[in-house]
Amino acid sequence: MNFLMNLMPLMRNCKEVTALVIAREDRHLPMRERATLRVHMLICQACPRFERQILTLRNATRQWRNHIENDEPEQR
């Protein structure tokens, strides 16, 4: 079974993964880091929940920004 051995270099702890989830909001992650995230999300309970909260927050921020831009384009 080489499958798990191939995944081993991609294993990260939750602290590193949450840091990556946050970093992803600001910059484009390399393929390796995106793979790291995906692998961890499969084996972890807490981090997918955290990711969902970040995505919800991001959507809310985007909607708020659209709202501001549409309503008051001159006042930024």
Residues that bind Zn ion (CB under 5 A): 14, 44, 47
Q: Which two three-digit tokens encode residue 9?
A: 């270099």
Q: Which two three-digit tokens encode residue 10?
A: 């991609």
- Pick 44 or 54: Cβ nearer Zn ion: 44
Hey, how many other C-beta atoms are within 10 angstroms of the C-beta on 21?
20
At closest approach, how far in Å is the CB of 74 from Zn ion?
Answer: 44
Report the C-alpha gap between 9 and 76 in whole angstroms.
Answer: 45
- Pick 11 or 14: Cβ nearer Zn ion: 14
At closest approach, how far in Å is the CB of 18 from Zn ion?
Answer: 7
Residue with tokens 């602290």: 15
At closest approach, how far in Å is the CB of 29 from Zn ion?
Answer: 16
